[in-house]
Structure formats: structure tokens, C-alpha cells
Chains A and B, each alone.
Chain A
């Protein structure tokens, strides 16, 4: 992958000048801190050097100093847009090593919150993607505000459940921390029905619009082979024709109790990934309804009320636990040494692997497509940089 070093302008024998342009850490495509050094030949991008690490907080070192009860709240700060699934990977890894049983009610609550979180995350994705495509003063902003309005409903649900809107500490090793307050299930059902009807409206708004279709069809093609080679997962993988969803392939937390479809598209372009996520909206809402209907009674944690550090111990061992986050496979490779804190924790962030595909697919596109492709890859830099 040859790229021009930043600052050097090359003139090749055809006389065309290569311009190095910086899409700096601060730019209005609201995705976080990301720097792409683009090498342009006229209007076409010929090289991308992605510079990341602006949000690096060294979670992996930090986790070695925090107990298994303390870290889940910090884990949400990796993928802060879909915080519930971030915590899920860590607690699953700890439970796998310690062979800790999770009560059925806790498993269902985990499923409900994960799926609601997936819907909220996809709403933010749709809003910000349209914002990138259409501009802060234009049609994109309209869809953005509609999606944020719906996302607020879900965040209100989380607030009444956990007390926090964005970063929770809901998952604990052994179960969950809070139980449903009275009336929550009813509000949840109403919210789910409302969002279901609105998704149809947004689909029509976008897909009946030839401008939108012209912008996203045929753009950013990821082949199946490239997808598996780089290790991207989630809607990106399913948009390139691979039928792989961790909730089906490696069911965890009672996901095999629920009926839902896994959308797969073969086109591999931005439009395919968009279609996958739009179908995922509906499937997640279906799962939430089923989980609410079948919610069993019982305890919410098998290790409630830990009173001392010694009680948080996990026996020696190692495990790699993964969950299907909104962006793909979020994994936690945990090595426990018998004490209350991990020996080593490797966080496999979905967005880190997803972003690694950009230098392979962007060259050849126009500058305006860079933003469309980045939006369809949907990175969250908390996960990329950790």
C-alpha cells in the first residue's frame, strides 16, 4: 500500500500532481477523532494513511489495576455509543473463566438491554451518516434530528433502569446490577412500537430519494475475501455476503430462545450495509418484545452484594469471550491469575478491525465518497483507540 509521506508532493511522468490533503482530527463528519492523510490525484483518492490513537487511554493497562467488579463501568467507555454490549464482553469473559452461572432473568435482561442498545446505536449511525451525506444545513440534519428524537426515548428507558443515559455500570460478573422498575416493561413496549413505525418512515424517506441512492450505491465495495482477511465483522461482514452473526453462530445469554432473522446482503457496497442495519432495527425490536413476553422471575445476579475485594476473585485461567455488538464482534481476551484483578486483558474492538479496511477500499473513489464510506463503516473511536 504505497502512500505519499505527508508534506511531499510527487509529480509523476504523466505530469499529474499528487496533492496530500489532511482530513484532520477535528472535522465536521461527527465520528470522533480520526485523521486521514489522503493522497489525491485531482478528485480521486489514491492513498489513505489512517492515523488513530487520539483517544488512547490504555484500557488494557488500566484493567490490570481494577477488580472484576470495578471494571465493567469503565468498559462502557470503549464503545461509548453502544455501551451495554461493551460491558457484556468483559463480564462474559470473567464468567467463562470462573464458570459462574448467570440466572435466567439476568440473561433476559441482558438481552433486552443489548438489543435496545443496538437500536439506539443504529439510530445514531443513521443520523450522523445522513448528516455527513447531506450536510449540517440540509436534508441530513432533518433525518439526524428525527433519529436523535427516537434515540432519546431509548435513553430515557435506560435512565429509569440504570440511572445513566450513556455510560452504564449495568453488567456485573454473575448477572446485572439493577432490576426493572415498575412500569418499565409497559413503557418499553410502547417505545418499541413507536420506533418500529418510524423506521418505516425513514426507510421510505431515504430509499425513495434518487439523490441518496446515487450517493450510496456502488460506493465502497468490500469483497467477501477482503472482509474475512481483515477481520471486519457485524453489518460490514453481513453486507458483503457472509452469513455470520454471533447471536446465531455462538449463542450466548439465551439468544437461542428467541426467533429472529439475520439479514445478509451480497452487494458489499454502502447501500448493502445500510440495508443490513435497517433490517437489524426491526429484528432487534422483535427480540425485545419476545424477551419482555418471556421474562422469567428470579434473582438478577449470582454474585450479588460483594462486600470485599477478596470476594471478586476469579480462579486462574483464560478465555476469549465475544458478543455481537452494534458494530461487529466485540471481544475480550482475559487472562486471570487467581486474584481479584486480571493479569492481562486484550480488548478486541470491533471498530479497530473495521477501520483497518479503509486503506484497502477507499483508493479509487472520489473525495466526497470518503465520508460516505466512513459513515457506513461506522467507527466509534473509543473502540478503535481504547
Chain B
């Protein structure tokens, strides 16, 4: 399977998805709405055979809200698939893909810890890196802006 074939398959199955135009050295980047996040992950694992779970994380785009990012790899064909979903301003819930990829377990716990995103369907969502009684979610851009540190942006 080549990256071009992957793009075709994804766009056929998910018409609402935005797919980045092909670029040198870039993975197949697909952005879907949150309600199709789980289905895209299932499609990527079963149909595209991208079985290697690389990482899952989030980005805080300030006014535009949070975005969840995940990367999968097809090891034999050397195709990388970057999945993204924009949660929208004020929303911090996202379906969990732990039932599909066991590696998402700790990654989603970290995203919850750092961004406050509640992953629905996660078997054991609790803080992983910070202590259980920590208040706040550090990687949000609104965190600790009033502390005497170099300005966080």
C-alpha cells in the first residue's frame, strides 16, 4: 500500500475527512470530526493494516479549542498515518481508542493529565505523571500564566 492508495481509501470511507495534500517526507495526515475518531482508528487498524501505535497526544490551540493527535504506522509498507481531530472550543471530551490499541491506554491517561481531556470508554482514566491530588492541567495554554516564570505562550 502506498501513501496515495491510503489517501484514496480514507477519502472513500470518510467523506467528511480533510486529508492534507501529499508532501515530501510527511505522513498521510487525516483530520476527522470527533464522532468519527473511533471509526477511523478501527478502519486504520483493520482495513489499512496500520497496526503499530506510535503515540497519541493533544494540542491546545487556545481559542479554537483542543485537538487530539495520534500516529499509526504500517511497518511493512513504511506508511505513516497521522490522525487528528479538533474537539472544538470549550469541549474536552473525546472517544477513547484504547479498545482498539492497547498502547493508547497510557497515552490517553497522559493527555488527560496534561490537558484535561476526558476519554470516553477508557478503562481506567486517572492521572499518570502527576500526583492524584494535583489541580489543573499543565499543558493547557491557560495554565499558570500568572507565575513569575518566562512567559508561557
Q: Do A and B come from one complex?
A: yes
Contact A231/B149 with A53-B129, A53-B130 known, Cβ cut-off 8 Å: no
Contacts of A344 in B (CB 8 A): 59-60
- In the complex, the answer to whether B75 meets A348 with C-beta atoms within 8 Å is no
List chain A residues, Cβ under 8 A from B88.
none
Interface segment, A25-33, A60-68, A162-170? Answer: A60-68
Contact yes or no, A56 B54, CB < 8 A: no
Interface residues on B, range: 35 or more
The residue that B54 contacts in the complex, of A226, A329, A386, with Cβ under 8 A, is: A329
Cβ-defined partner of A56 (8 Å) among B51, B53, B102, B130: B130
Q: Which stretch of A74-82, A109-117, A152-160, A242-250 is in the interface?
A: A242-250
A229 and B53 contacting across the interface, CB-CB below 8 Å: yes
User: Which residues does chain A contribute within 8 Å of B102, judged by CB atoms?
Assistant: 226, 229-230, 356, 360
Residue-by-residue, is B70-93 near A (CB-CB < 8 Å gives 1, otherwise 0)? Answer: 010001001010100000000000
* Chain A min CB distance to B103 (Å): 4
Give Cα distance in the complex from A384 to B79, angstroms.
26
* CB-contact partner of A353 in B25, B55, B123, B150, under 8 A: B55
Q: Does A260 contact B (CB under 8 A)?
A: no
Most chain B Cβ neighbours within 10 Å, of A229, A242, A386: A229
A residues in contact with B151, CB < 8 Å: 65
Q: Which residues of B contact A226 (CB under 8 A)?
A: 102
B102 to chain A, nearest CB (A): 5
Question: CB < 8 Å: which of B55, B127, B149 contacts A346?
Answer: B55
Residues of A202-248 at the interface with B, using a CB-CB cut-off of 8 Å, are: 225-226, 228-231, 242, 244
Cα distance A360–B59 in the bound complex, in angstroms? 29
Query: Known: A58-B138, A231-B54, A329-B54. Is A320-B27 also a contact (CB below 8 A)?
Result: yes
A108 lies within 8 A of chain B by Cβ: no
A231 to B45, CA, bound (A): 13
> How distant is the Cα of A94 from the Cα of B65 in the complex, in angstroms?
25
Assess whether A333 is in contact with B69, with CB atoms less than 8 Å apart: yes
Q: Does A52 contact B128, Cβ atoms closer than 8 Å? A: yes
- What residues of chain A lie closer than 8 Å to B149, measured between beta carbons? 65
**In the assembled complex, which residues on chain A have CB atoms less than 8 Å from the CB atom of B130?**
53, 56
Contact A1 B55 (CB under 8 A): no
A89 to chain B, nearest CB (A): 12
Q: How large is the interface on A (under 10, 10 to 19, 20 to 34, 35 or more residues)?
A: 35 or more
Q: Does B106 contact A (CB under 8 A)?
A: yes
**Could you tell me if A250 and B78 are in contact, using CB atoms closer than 8 angstroms?**
yes
Say yes or no: A346 contacts B152, CB within 8 Å: no
Q: How far is the CA of A244 from the CA of B77 in the complex (A)?
A: 11
B64–chain A nearest beta-carbon distance, Å:
13
Would you call B101 an interface residue if the criterion is a C-beta within 8 Å of the partner chain's C-beta atoms? Answer: yes
Contact B139 A60 (CB under 8 A): yes
Which A residue sits closest to B52, measured CB to CB? Answer: A228
Determine how close the nearest CB of chain A comes to the CB of B126; give it in whole angstroms. 10
Pick from B26, B27, B103, B124 the residue with the most CB of A within 10 Å.
B103
Question: Given A52-B129, A229-B102, A229-B103, do A96 and B53 touch, yes or no (CB 8 Å)?
Answer: no
**A320 proximity list for chain B (CB < 8 A):** 27, 71, 80, 82
Give the nearest-CB partner of B62 in chain A.
Answer: A343
Contact assessment for A242 and B128 in the assembled complex, using a CB-CB cutoff below 8 Å? no
CA distance A225 to B114 in the complex (A): 29
The proximity string for A residues 333-364 relative to B, scoring 1 for CB distances below 8 Å and 0 otherwise, is 10100000101101010001100100010000
Write the nearest CB–CB distance from A239 to chain B, whole angstroms.
Answer: 15
- The answer to whether A228 and B53 have CB atoms under 8 Å apart is yes
A319 to B29, CA, bound (A): 11
Q: Which residue of A lies closest to B105 (CB)?
A: A356
Query: Whole-angstrom distance between the alpha carbons of A331 and B75 in the complex?
Result: 16
Chain B nearest CB from A101 CB (Å) reads 14
CB-CB under 8 A from B103, the residues of chain A are: 229-231, 353, 356
- B36 on the A face (CB < 8 A): no
CB pairs A–B below 8 angstroms (15 shown):
A1-B123, A60-B114, A61-B138, A226-B102, A228-B51, A229-B53, A229-B102, A231-B52, A329-B54, A341-B153, A352-B106, A353-B106, A356-B102, A356-B103, A360-B102
In the complex, besides A320-B27, A346-B69, A348-B55, 20 extra interface pairs with C-beta distance below 8 angstroms are A52-B129, A53-B127, A53-B128, A53-B130, A56-B129, A58-B138, A61-B138, A65-B153, A228-B53, A229-B102, A230-B101, A231-B52, A231-B103, A244-B52, A250-B78, A331-B54, A341-B153, A344-B59, A346-B57, A356-B106
Interface residues, chain A, with chain B CB atoms under 8 Å away: 1, 52-53, 56, 58, 60-61, 64-65, 96, 225-226, 228-231, 242, 244, 249-250, 319-320, 329, 331, 333, 335, 341, 343-344, 346, 348, 352-353, 356, 360, 385-386
Chain B residues in the interface with A (C-beta under 8 A): 25-27, 51-55, 57, 59-60, 69, 71, 75, 78, 80, 82, 101-103, 105-106, 114, 123-124, 127-131, 138-139, 149-153
3 closest cross-chain pairs (CB), A and B: A53-B129, A231-B103, A231-B53
